[in-house]
Amino acid sequence: MKRPLFILAILAATLAGGADTPPATDGWSETVYGLQARLSLGERRTPSGLDIPEVYLELHNVSDRGLLLVFDYVAQTSVRFELKSADGKPVPRSLTVAGGNRCHDKLQVQLPMDGTLRFPVSCHSALGGMSGSTILQLDPNEAIWEIPATNTQAYFLSGTLEVPEPTPEVASATWPNWRWHGTLKIPPISIGGTR
């Protein structure tokens, strides 16, 4: 019985010591414990037929450990977003009501080796504001940003993904999956104005 346990221990040590594969480029963040992230823009069609921007979070497992990368994503705490103008100044949040809420409140991220996951992080990514302005709400507990339709400058949206280290009980509950934790800076993308 000791021999199979010994072999299993060697296998686990080998997987845990695996090096990360070369990171992806094209807007991806630096690699933190085998995970990369980036933001991207898409479009969503409203029931009224209006196409509005949708902000997505993309996650990529670049580790070669061969394990499933797992962590809990909570909309209000896992990612903090920043919107800055072209001169690097923070854009104030001007509105307090988005008119609705459809955020991913909480989900468990599960990424196989070399796997990528993409999901919307918008509560109301963009509503048709006054005179066609763009409204951004990326946290249900925060006021929202408004980019006027007359705006000609670019704004830059970035974020920080932060997942705390799991307790031993949580980590053991997901074994043999790899419970990810860490802080990851997500590079900015251009929103509004000239892109």
Structure confidence by residue, pLDDT tens digits, 142-152? 778 887 777 77
Based on the structure, what is the number of domains in the chain? 1
pLDDT confidence bin for 8, thresholds 50/70/90: very low
| CA gyration radius, the chain | 20
Q: Is the dihedral of CA 19, 108, 98, 40 positive or negative?
A: positive
> Residue 73's domain spans which residues?
2-191
Is the pLDDT assigned to residue 40 strictly greater than 90?
yes
The whole model's pTM is what? 0.78
| Distance set, CA 191 to CA 62, 77, 106 (Å) | 27, 23, 25
Q: What is the pLDDT of residues 45-71, one digit of tens each?
A: 766 666 667 899 999 999 988 889 999
* DSSP three-state, residue 12: helix
